[in-house]
C-alpha cells in the first residue's frame, strides 16, 4: 500500500503535456470507483457535484465538515491519488484556508483546487485582488509543509470564466495572476472558461507551471490539448450534470408517458454493486 506522500509525489508527476492528466470528476464513492475502474490515474472531486449530492448549491454554500466527510469517503473508496475542489478554501481568512488544508490532508487527499473568486462575488468585484489571494495560497502551502505532505496546490483563476475586464486584457491579467500565485506557492494553474486552441497555447507558453483546462464538448481533445502545452484536463461539474440530466429524463418520461426507454442504458447493477464490494 502506498503512503500519502507517495501518492502526492505520484500525482504531481502526472502533470505532463506529453500525456495530460485526464480527470472525469467524481462526487461520491460510487462515481470515484467507476472512475478508478475506467483506468484513470487519479480521482478529482467536483465542488458542484459534491454540493448538489449533499443538498446544497455550489458556490460556497456547503458546510466544510460535510465536504470533508464526503472527501474522506472518496479517498477510502479508491487506491488512487485524490485531489479535492475546495472552492475558495472554506474560510474568510488565510488562517481559515490553512485549517481547511490541514483537514483535507488529514483525510488523505493529496491535492486541492482553490479559486480566486470572492466568497460572495458581485458584478464589480467577482475576484479577490491577486495579492489577497496570494496570502491564502501561501497559507495553504505553509499548512501542507507543516503536515509534511507535498500537496499539489492548483490555483484557479476565473478571469475568463467570469469575463473579468475587457476581452483584450484577460490574457495579460491571467498571466499576471499566475505569476503572483506561483510565487505564493501554487503548484499549477487552473484556467477554466477557455476553449480556443490559440488562446490555450498562449496560456501554456506564458505560465511557468502545469496548466489545467476545464473541458467539454467544444474543447480540443486531450491529445490536442497536450500538443498545445496543457498538462491536465478536467470535466469539472459536467459528469455530475450529465448524471442528473439522466434523472430528469427518466422522471419526465415516466410521468409523461409511463414508459422507461431513458433507463435502457443504465449501468449494470451487478457491475456497480461488485465495485462497491471491492470485487471489481
Question: What is the band of 229 on the pLDDT scale with cuts at 50, 70, 90?
Answer: very high
pLDDT value for 123: 84
Pick the CATH number of 4-236 from 3.20.20.60, 3.20.20.70, 2.40.50.140, 2.60.40.10: 3.20.20.60
- Mean of all residue pLDDT scores within the chain: 97
Half-sphere CA count of 133, side-chain side, radius 13 A: 29
CA distance 240 to 85: 14
pLDDT, average across residues 31-59: 97
Tell me: pLDDT of 170 over 80. yes
- pLDDT of residue 43 exceeding 80: yes
Nearest to 48 by CA among 11, 85, 20: 85
Instruction: Say yes or no to pLDDT of 4 above 80.
Output: yes
Q: Please write the tens of the pLDDT for every residue from 87-101.
A: 999 999 999 999 999
In the chain, count H helices and then E strands: 11, 8
Which segments of the chain does DSSP mark as H helices, in order?
A: 4-13, 29-37, 47-53, 64-77, 94-106, 130-147, 170-183, 197-206, 222-228, 238-257, 269-277
Q: Please report how many Cα atoms fall inside a 13 Å half-sphere around the Cα of residue 227, on the Cβ side.
A: 6
> Which of 22, 24, 23 shows the shortest CA–CA distance to 240?
24
Domain boundaries, the chain: 4-236
Q: What is the pLDDT of residues 189-225, one digit of tens each?
A: 999 999 999 999 999 999 999 999 999 999 999 999 9
Q: Could you tell me the pLDDT band of residue 2, with boundaries at 50, 70 and 90?
A: confident
pLDDT value for 188: 98
Mean pLDDT value of segment 96-114 = 98
pLDDT value of residue 12: 98
**pLDDT tens-digit map of 115-146:** 999 988 888 889 999 999 999 999 999 999 99
pLDDT at 120: 82
Note the pLDDT of residue 280: 67
| The overall pTM is greater than 0.75 | yes
Q: What is the pLDDT of residues 146-160, one digit of tens each?
A: 999 999 999 999 999
pLDDT at position 1, please? 61
Amino acid at each position: 500500500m502506498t503512503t500519502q506522500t507517495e501518492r502526492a509525489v505520484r500525482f504531481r508527476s502526472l502533470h505532463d503535456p506529453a500525456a495530460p492528466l485526464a480527470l472525469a470528476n467524481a462526487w461520491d464513492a460510487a462515481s470515484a470507483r467507476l472512475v478508478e475502474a475506467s483506468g484513470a490515474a487519479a480521482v478529482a472531486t467536483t465542488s458542484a457535484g459534491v454540493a448538489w449530492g449533499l443538498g446544497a448549491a455550489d458556490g460556497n454554500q456547503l458546510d466544510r465538515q460535510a465536504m470533508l466527510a464526503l472527501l474522506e469517503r472518496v479517498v477510502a473508496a479508491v487506491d488512487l491519488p485524490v485531489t479535492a475542489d475546495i472552492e475558495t478554501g472554506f474560510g474568510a481568512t488565510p488562517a481559515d484556508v490553512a485549517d481547511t488544508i490541514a483537514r483535507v490532508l488529514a483525510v488523505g487527499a493529496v491535492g486541492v483546487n482553490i479559486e480566486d473568486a470572492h466568497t460572495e462575488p458581485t458584478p464589480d468585484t467577482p475576484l479577490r485582488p491577486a495579492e489577497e489571494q496570494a496570502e491564502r495560497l501561501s497559507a495553504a502551502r505553509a499548512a501542507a509543509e507543516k503536515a509534511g505532505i507535498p500537496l499539489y496546490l492548483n490555483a484557479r483563476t476565473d478571469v475568463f470564466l467570469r469575463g473579468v475586464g475587457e476581452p483584450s486584457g484577460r490574457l495579460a491579467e491571467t498571466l499576471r495572476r499566475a505569476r503572483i500565485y506561483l510565487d505564493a506557492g501554487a503548484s499549477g494553474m487552473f484556467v477554466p472558461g477557455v476553449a480556443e486552441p490559440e488562446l490555450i497555447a498562449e496560456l501554456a507558453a506564458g505560465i511557468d507551471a502545469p496548466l489545467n483546462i476545464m473541458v467539454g464538448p467544444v474543447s480540443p481533445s486531450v491529445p490536442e490539448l497536450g500538443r498545445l502545452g496543457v498538462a491536465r484536463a478536467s470535466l469539472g461539474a459536467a459528469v455530475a450534470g450529465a448524471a442528473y440530466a439522466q434523472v430528469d429524463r427518466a422522471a419526465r418520461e415516466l410521468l409523461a408517458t409511463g414508459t422507461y426507454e431513458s433507463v435502457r442504458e443504465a449501468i449494470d447493477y451487478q457491475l456497480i454493486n461488485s465495485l462497491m464490494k471491492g470485487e471489481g
